[in-house]
Copies of this chain bind each other. A is one copy, B any other.
Amino acid sequence: MNLLDLSTFLGAELRGEPEVEVTAVASLEEADERTLTFVESRRKLDEALTSRAGAFIVPDGLELPGRNVLVSADPRFDFSRAIRLLIPAEKISEGTSGQAVISADATVAPDVRIGPFVTVEQGALVGKGSQLYPGVYVGRGSRIGEDCVLYPNVVVMSGCTLGNRVVVHAGAVIGSDGFGYVTKGDVHHKIPQVGQVIVEDDVEIGANATIDRAALGTTLIGRGTKLDNLVQVAHNVQIGEGCLMAAHVGIAGSSRIGRYVMFGGQVGVADHISVGDGVMVGGQSGLARDVAPKSIVSGSPAFPHREWVKASMVFQKLPEMERRLRRLEKALGQGEDEGKP
């Protein structure tokens, strides 16, 4: 695509030669003359000046004399749009593989692409434009919306609902049983998990992530929320819209996560707690109590992030602090033991 067309598509001002062609995208250091790249800030200026890229998306005010630039109010966003234009999303082959097993009682839109070794059980529904990669399982009565992508070996158990444009990466499991037992004497009796999972529009679910069905009612993943790989969502959890949860996050049963909440990797959330809108949680933190909206917290158990940073620094000096304390006690003629109540 030539830069004129690209600038028109992006709505970005072109400063450079309109007829130059770019066919690929790359980072500054890996770019060559057929490549589009981007510069987000002045900090990358030196790198940009030595880059061999054929064209750059740059913020207003950043000069790259003699180079082809497209001036953008949001270079990262426009670069992201340009990627999809230059490199169309992969699709599996059209039609339904002869090696797939689709129940005669399932409803599959005519343009759905279904790879080999896919199973779609009775009563299931797959909306138009969706793709089921090889090895996908869609259980009884489950509904997959329009323009969804289920990558290889994804499992959607029975009675679950995915909205439109939901992307589920390879090996993820939706609708497995929640972890619920009644213990009588020394036996853990299973509580049948007869609820469902609802995954709203525009959700993305990472590879090998697991989302349990509700015991009763619904486990909910709100619109536009993105879950990274290996995330665990327990039964009856409710996650609001627009959340971002990094890898290995685990959320225990019945907890409610607000809208636009962000969790770093390996965060753990206890059961039956409530996390307010806009909360941000540092990696490896543990939430054991309700968290007020807009809080920024860290630690296990978590408390305000700024205080945690300070406390963590003092933690490293604890042996020294103990020595200082002992010295003071000596100076005052106090034994260590006397300090005990």
- Measured CB to CB, the closest approach of chain B to A203, in angstroms, equals 10
Instruction: Flag if B157 contacts A155 (CB, 8 Å).
Output: no
Interface digits, A127-141 against B, CB 8 Å rule (1 contact, 0 not)?
000000111010110
Tell me the minimal C-beta distance from A341 to chain B in angstroms. Answer: 6
Instruction: Return chain B residues, CB-CB under 8 Å to A117.
Output: 101, 116-117, 119, 135
- The one of B116, B119, B169, B246 in contact with A173, judged by C-beta atoms closer than 8 angstroms, is B169
Within 8 A of B (CB), among A291-313: 299-301, 303, 307-308, 310-312
In the complex, which residue of chain B has the Cβ closest to the Cβ of A115? Answer: B119
Contacts A316-B307, A318-B310: A208 and B206 contacting too (C-beta < 8 A)?
no
Complex CA gap A328/B330 in Å reads 11
The answer, among B97, B187, B319, for a CB contact under 8 Å with A101, is B97
Would you give the shortest CB distance from A175 to chain B, in whole angstroms? 8
A124 interfacial by beta-carbon distance below 8 Å:
no
How far, in angstroms, from A327 to B326 measured CA to CA in the complex?
A: 12
How distant is A257 from chain B, measured CB to nearest CB, in Å? 15
Q: Which residue of B lies closest to A186 (CB)?
A: B242
What's the least CB distance linking A314 to chain B, in Å?
Answer: 4
CA distance A338 to B229 in the complex (A): 49
* A158 partner residues in chain B, CB cutoff 8 A: 90
The answer on a CB contact under 8 Å between B266 and A173 is no
List of B residues within 8 angstroms of A151 by Cβ? 155, 157, 176
A192 touches B321 (CB 8 A): no
Expressed in whole angstroms, the Cα–Cα distance for A311 and B101 within the complex equals 58
In the complex the two chains form, what is the Cα distance from A90 to B177 in whole Å? 12
Q: Is the CB–CB distance between B181 and A226 below 8 Å?
A: yes
Task: Give A117 to B212 CA distance when docked, in angstroms.
Answer: 24
B170, B247, B317, B323: the one contacting A234 at CB < 8 Å is B247
| CB-defined contacts of A187 to chain B, threshold 8 Å | 224, 242
Using Cβ atoms and an 8 Å threshold, which residues of chain B touch A116? Answer: 101, 117, 119
Interface size of A by CB at 8 A reads: 116
Interfacial chain B residues near A167, Cβ < 8 Å: 177, 190
A49 adjacent to chain B (CB < 8 Å): no
Q: Is the CB of B210 within 8 A of A206?
A: yes
The interface stretch among A1-9, A10-18, A54-62, A75-83 is A75-83
- Roughly how many angstroms separate A324 CA and B341 CA in the complex, as a whole number? 9
Interface assignment of A163: CB less than 8 Å from any CB of chain B: no
A176/B286 in contact, CB under 8 A = no
A120 to chain B, nearest CB (A): 10
What 9 new A-B contacts, CB under 8 Å, besides A135-B135, A212-B229, A266-B268? Answer: A80-B182, A83-B192, A157-B170, A171-B210, A210-B247, A228-B232, A284-B300, A321-B325, A328-B329
Contacts A/B (CB < 8 Å), 11 sampled: A83-B192, A99-B101, A115-B119, A119-B152, A171-B208, A181-B244, A266-B266, A284-B286, A303-B316, A307-B316, A307-B319
For the complex of A and B, 9 pairs with smallest distance between CB atoms: A324-B339, A314-B318, A176-B207, A137-B152, A155-B170, A210-B229, A173-B207, A119-B134, A232-B247
